[in-house]
Amino acid sequence: MIKRSYKYLIVLIVVIIFTITFTHSHHVQSVDDLSYAVALGIDIGENDDLKVTFQFNIPSSSRRK
């Protein structure tokens, strides 16, 4: 029972640390300046290697510059 409580406590502490770390606004960027992956392809290439292909959109704010 005590080990289970420690497990939940550690998970809670990790979640709180990640929340505080990744939600600050130190480097704020506009949503229009971000690029998003609109397609993702995973294929088996030569020699049974995985080939991963991404397709990104061009943000509308980048076209105006």
pLDDT of the chain, 65 residues: tens digit per residue? 667 788 888 899 999 888 877 766 556 666 666 777 789 898 987 888 888 898 988 776 555 55
Q: What are phi and psi of 59, to 5 degrees?
A: -60, 145
CA–CA gap between residue 19 and residue 31 (Å, rounded): 20
Beta bridge mates, 52: 42
- Nearest one of 35, 37, 65 to 52, comparing CA atoms: 37
Residue type at 31 in one-letter notation = V
CA–CA gap between residue 21 and residue 15 (Å, rounded): 10
